[in-house]
Structure 1
Amino acid sequence: MTSHHATPSGKTRARALKLPFPGEPGENNAITDVAGVEVGVTTLITGEGKLVVGQGPVRTGVTAILPRGHHGVQIPCAAASYSLNGNGEMTGTIWIEESGELQTPITITNTNSCGIARDATSQWLFRKAGYVQDWGLPVAAETFDGDLNDINGFHVKAEHVIQALDSARGGPVEQGSVGGGTGMICYDFKGGNGTASRVVKVAGRSYTVGALVQSNFGTRRECTILGVPVGQHLSGRELRGKPAGSIIVIIATDAPLEAHQLKRLARRMPIGLARTGGIGHNSSGDIFLAFSTANEEAFAAPSGQLRRMEAVATGDIDPLFEATIEATEEAIIDSMIANQTMVGRDGNTSVALPHDRLIDIMKKFGRM
């Protein structure tokens, strides 16, 4: 199967089930379809049975995104963030809002490991050959995996963050229970990492928009796929059973956008979330970040020189809004479909979204 239909490890993606998503995906239907963007993961899965804090079971990890890949670590990107509901954390966003720039890699992990991810990213940057900046405000985001993981055992260490950063590559991206998404739950199905992309025309030029999500939110009855209330027809075996959890969405694009335009993209990500049934519960951290890899030469220019940059006209931005919404929606759904049932701490079991029953429901509603 192609990378549109399966992950690198062979897990089935949503398009292999012939779900009729709108829009044109990129080569890998992944955030890495935006040239230069690289993704790496460290996945930690050990132990089983009764929770013993500090020993396990462990179901967690780290996801790393390098906006310009290893070659461009020192080169900022135009960026903006947005919070739909703020019961969560994404470090570094105050400076992004102030400067309009993303100047570091992005890491995503569990709630109690957000600090170590931030600090280890600083260590990685300062040790990286040729990196000359003597300070930084890394972006580290989190969602809560304590239903399956020994979250108070603090099993993510600096070396795991550095491993994820070092392993970042372009091309197809593994999904489901990997990296920071390892212990996450989405609509009371097994959730985690998901990714998707769209290729659109803007003012006669072709641009790519890619999304990567760490999905850990929603109640079963809310789960909606392409307008079909799937969760209402797949009740049973809910582990969390309450409106809790969070989602992090990262949008990358090669379209030349200024920071205020990227803020507008970030504000469209909740529409993709809503298409899957999400409403931004009080206890949920629904936090979004968008960046553009365009204008690299201008961002690489040293201080003291004027920057000359391209930008999409305000009136031409609608295709990028649509691409953001569609990629976010599909990435969330793929985070459940490209996944497997997981047993975690105390025998807690998060069931995978059943493909056969999903197809039956979609056919019943005339969506396939």
Structure 2
Amino acid sequence: MDNHLTAATRGRARARELGVVVGALPTGPLNAITDVEGVLVGHTTLDDGADLHTGVTAIVPRQLTAERRALPAAVYAGNGYGKLVGSTQIDELGVLESPVVLTATLSAFRAADALLTYLMDRSPEGISFNPVVGETNDGFLSDIRRRPITERHVLDALEGASGGLPAEGCVGAGTGTTALGYKAGIGTSSRRPMIEGAAGGEGGAVTVGALVQANFGGVLTVGGVPMPVEELVPGAAGEEPVGNSCMIVVATDAPLDARQLARLARRAIFAMGRVGASYSNGSGDYAIAFSTASPELPRLPDAGLNPLFAAVMDAVEEALLNSLFTATTTTGVRGRTRHAVPYDRLPRTGAGQQAG
């Protein structure tokens, strides 16, 4: 596993390191979903350097315990062309009862069975569980029909999940994904907006974190500037990927109910448009949002949600850019190649901001 393989280790950089700054809100210390206290991330990467480029990414809220079996949550389907296991129960009950696992489309069902093993081991008396598994189709670069994900791969990602800055780019469930014509992968970001009525009614900063598995079509747009791959990478235009999708996971420590979290999840999908998403017919675009806040805290009023909406939009946009900027050029099955974003053509939107 490579939970904390940094972009610098791979010779690639995050958006802010490249002078691309999204919005004015401060980030958390790591600028990652793990800035939300108790939210852990784990990866298992399968890459044989030839036909296999895939893996598993697990988002594990430590607040889910034997004493607290569920967290407020919501799902929003921007376009339902996908296999999001467990989503209807989240819709019905407004709660998340398991970690969120991400993987490749044809491995989603094996991953769900493995996640069920994980949940049963932690609740020996339980008789009903709702494992949540999202997916995107990495079949352009990886031999997806091999369905190589095993129970051990999923358990390794879950059991190895930790805090700190998660690895991004070609890692875990993003190992073989592509977006906007370029090689993409896993990306993450966070924001710390000030909210009236937070911190038990006194007001203060809350944290919103996002993690994305980017694998969708369109024209990459950075700070409003289009970066079409066919113009910037000679010879890169060609066969389009099979299947286009995006999985977005949003975590926050703000005290919100399921209805309010659904409003955040919708904004997460809207943020894809900022980076040039086409929202095509075959794109399964989903966002899952959950809150880790203590159930003892009073729920925030709807009138106070605007800073959270801005935080979600900015965090998701930057996470998507990070998923692209940290990814490396990859050649996969049948010799297909997706190129990394060329740094020398990026517009600089700012000199960078300090973490909050």
Q: How high is the TM-score relative to the length of structure 2?
A: 0.89
1:75-86 equivalence runs, <5 A:
75-86=69-80
Is the 1:254–1:293 Cα contact (8 Å) retained in structure 2?
yes
| Cα distance in 1, alignment partners of residues 261 and 157 from structure 2 | 26
Distance (whole Å) between structure 2 residues aligned to residue 258 and residue 64 of structure 1: 23
Q: Distance in 1 between matches of 2:191 and 2:39?
A: 15
Q: 1:7: how far off?
A: 3.6
**1:27 and 1:75 mapped to 2: Cα distance?**
29
Q: Find the partner of 2:146 among 145, 150, 153.
A: 153
Q: Displacement, 1:367?
A: 7.0
> Which whole-Å deviations, capped at 9, do the CAs of 1:305-330 have from their partners, x for residues lacking one?
xxx54211110000000000000100
Query: Helix, strand or coil for the counterpart of 2:303?
Result: helix
| Secondary structure of the corresponding residue to residue 57 of structure 2 | strand
Q: What is the aligned partner in structure 2 of residue 250 from structure 1?
A: 249
* Counterpart residue number, 1:26: 28
* Letter of the structure 1 residue corresponding to residue 327 of structure 2: N
User: Could you tell me how far apart the structure 2 residues matched to 1:91 and 1:8 are?
Assistant: 34
Name 2:130's counterpart in structure 1: 137
Note the 1:31-110 alignment, pairs <5 A: 31-48=33-50, 57-68=51-62, 75-110=69-104
| Residue identity in the other structure for 2:22 | F
Q: How many Å separate the matches in 2 of 1:247 and 1:239?
A: 21
**Aligned twin of 1:349:** 337
Aligned residues: 336
Equivalents in 1 of 2:118, 2:327: separation in Å? 30
Structure 1 residues 148 and 239: CA distance shift in structure 2, 3 A? farther
How much does 1:235 deviate? 5.2
Q: Is the 8 A contact 1:188 1:239 kept in 2?
A: no
Amino acid at match of 2:96: L
The match for 1:335 is 323
Distance 2:120 2:67 in 1: 11
Unmatched 5+ residue regions in structure 1?
A: 1-5, 49-56, 299-307
- Does residue 229 of the first structure (1) align with residue 230 of the second (2)? no
Deviation at residue 239 of structure 1 after TM alignment: 5.1
- Alpha-carbon displacement from aligned partner over 1:286-319 (angstroms, at most 9, x marks no partner): 0111000002xx4xxxxxxxxx542111100000
Aligned with residue 117 of structure 2, among 111, 115, 123: 123
* Structure 1 counterpart of 2:311: 323
Aligned residue in 1 for 2:354: none
Inter-CA distance 240–105: structure 2 relative to 1 (3 Å threshold)? farther
Letter in 2 for 1:46: D
d(CA) in 1 for partners of 2:120 and 2:242?
40
State the Cα distance separating 1:20 from its structure 2 match: 2.5
Q: 1:47 to 1:9 in 2, by over 3 A?
A: closer
Residue 271 of structure 1 deviates from its aligned partner by 2.0
Are residue 238 (structure 1) and residue 226 (structure 2) matched? no
CA distance in 2, matches of 1:173, 1:72: 26
Q: For residue 3 of structure 1, what is the aligned residue in structure 2?
A: none
- Map 1:262-301 to 2 at 5 A: 262-295=261-294, 298=295
Deviation at 1:242, TM superposition (A): 6.5
DSSP 3-state at the match of 1:164: helix
For 1:63 and 1:289, the matched residues in 2 are separated by: 15
1:34 and 1:17 mapped to 2: Cα distance?
24
Specify every segment of 5 or more residues in structure 2 that has no aligned partner in the other structure, as ranges: 1-5, 197-202, 352-356
Structure 1 pair 148–230 and aligned structure 2 pair: CA distance change class (3 A): same
Q: Is the 8 A contact 2:140 2:242 kept in 1?
A: no
Q: Tell me if structure 1 keeps the 8 A contact 2:99–2:132.
A: yes
Cα distance, 1:277 vs. partner?
A: 0.9
Change (3 A) 1:162 1:69: farther
User: Counterpart amino acid of 1:192?
Assistant: G
Tell me whether 1:175 sits opposite 2:168 in the alignment.
Answer: yes
CA contact (8 A) 1:117 1:158 kept: yes
Provide the identity percentage.
Answer: 40
